[in-house]
Amino acid sequence: MRSRPFIALYAAVFVATMGISMVSPLLPVYAKELGASGVWLGLTFSVFAIVQTFVGPFAGRLSDRYGRKPFIVAGLCIYLVAALGYLTAGSFYQVIAFRAFSGLGTSLIFSVARAYVGDMTPKGQEGRWLGVFATADIIGFGTGPLLAGVLREVVGFRSVFVAMAILMATSALILMWWLPRHSPAEVLKRASLARGEARETQTPFAVALKDRLVVAVTAHQGLISLASGASFSFLALRLEDGLGVSPMLIGLAFATQDITGGLAQPLFGRMADAYSRRVLVAAGLLVNGALLACVGIVPTYGLMVLLLFAMGASGSISQVAAGAIQVVAGRRVGMGTVLGLGSASNGLGIVIGSVVSGIIVDAQGLAAAFFLGGAIMAAGVPVFLVLTRGVQTSEPQRAIQPELSEAAAGQ
């Protein structure tokens, strides 16, 4: 994990997610000020996922063929353009348009970066590697809203978009300078192809989805995003309108969940390598769903923070175990293919969840969105357990192959 590719990806993803998460909780508030309501507010949060649903699978497969680095750098540049676009928006329709454009960037960054890390991960250590790498993503998402809250109060609303653009540019430069185009495993694979010792093959999506493990991790990601889309697009409004919380404290609330979850990932990653990953996924979903439902009814800000703290820890149990299983599935049918399917599932879940919850919120109020999200997570437990019954979710542990270490050192 101390290799140059891993460190470069970790640093870049941390900076990128911090920039992305700075604006995500503010966009519904921004759109509301420009006249959006109900379903339009839900779309402001989730329209990027519509693009992600269609682009994600193909980005993953193309990165299997042409290398991961160009796709990740391109995604960061797209987010840079979107950040500058928010500054020029004069209506909530324009905000939604730039949010949709950023969905292309999302498709190119996160699943492809995880596929790169998956290429480097030794068998039996998927939880440990993914647990450490996930801290970049989760802590970045946690610190972003906190920084955004400070900037919004001290400098002004538009400064958040400027800061996002600077962070995207920084992340792109980190990868351009430090990240090799191909992972060590990909270097060896391409050398074998050049020598005629192997053939280039890609598993069609239809064939990949016949693998129950692939279906299980894809369904898990879809259910998590469905619950998130149904609830977290309204969390900032719940805090600001429902509890009268200041922008800085809203950022702190978002940071509480994400930073807690990020710090817990390495610990739970080791657990995912030592214990049943099926049980960890199911337990995390069940506890997190119950806590999420309570978000809609807690009466004070202090209780909300405690609730989000607990959600960060319980959510990381499910996420890191499912991420480890995803790497195992990726070795079967192609890392980019599995991560791309997960990206599409994630996008589809966010779209459906946010639109449906937007309709429900208009009819029943903000609390209903969090009840719906909790119910979705609870419903995911039997689905995941049935799909993974009798299926191997881990592989025998082994050290990093010497030839992989040599390949990494030579890059």
- Between 144 and 182, the higher pLDDT residue: 144
Average pLDDT over residues 353-380: 86
Among 119-133, 172-186, 282-296, the least confident range:
172-186
* Integer Cα distance of 75 and 266 in angstroms: 27
Looking at every residue in the chain, the average pLDDT score rounds to 82
pLDDT at site 185: 67
The mean-pLDDT minimum among 7-21, 26-40, 159-173 falls in 26-40
Take residue 398 and report the two structure tokens written for it. 């082994």
Q: In the predicted model, is pLDDT for residue 196 greater than 50?
A: yes
Q: Pick from 312, 409, 340: which is nearest to 118 by CA?
A: 340
* Predicted confidence band of residue 201 (pLDDT cuts 50, 70, 90): low
Q: Summarize pLDDT for 214-224 with one digit per residue, the tens.
A: 999 999 999 88
Amino acid identity, position 67: G
Tokens 């185009």 correspond to what residue? 181
Say what the pLDDT of residue 190 is: 64
Instruction: Look at the block and give the residue holding tokens 């540019």.
Output: 169
Instruction: Give the angle 143-132-258 at the CA atoms, nearest 5°.
Output: 30
For residue 131, what are its two tokens? 């647990």
Label residue 1 by pLDDT band (50, 70, 90): low
Neighbours of 151 (CB within 10 A): 23
pLDDT score at 200: 54
Question: What tokens does 86 get?
Answer: 């928010």
Q: Which of 350, 391, 388 is nearest to 223 (CA)?
A: 350
Burial class (CB in 10 A: 0-12, 13-18, 19+), 250: buried
Nearest C-alpha neighbor of 7 from the set 129, 122, 144, 128: 129
Residue entry with tokens 């891993």 = 6
82-91 LR contacts (CB < 8 Å, sep 24+): 83/19, 83/23, 83/161, 83/162, 83/164, 83/165, 83/168, 84/161, 84/165, 86/23, 86/27, 86/30, 86/161, 87/158, 87/161, 87/162, 89/34, 90/34, 91/34, 91/35
354 is written with which tokens?
């946010």
**pLDDT at residue 2, rounded to an integer:** 66
Instruction: Find how far residue 189's CA is from the centre of its chain.
Output: 28
pLDDT exceeding 70 applies to what percent of the chain? 89
| Among 48, 43, 60, CA closest to 21 | 48
Q: In Å, what is the CA distance from 289 to each residue of 190, 219, 371?
A: 44, 16, 9
**Averaged pLDDT, 343-353:** 84
Spell out the domains of the chain, with CATH numbers in brackets.
Answer: 4-409 (1.20.1250.20)
Q: Which of 369, 37, 19, 353 is nearest to 171 (CA)?
A: 19
- pLDDT (tens digit per residue) in 206-256: 888 889 999 999 999 998 888 887 787 678 778 877 788 877 787 777 777
Single out the residue of 259, 84, 44, 253 nearest to residue 164, CA to CA.
84
Q: What is the pLDDT of residue 39?
A: 67
> One-letter amino acid identity for 312?
G
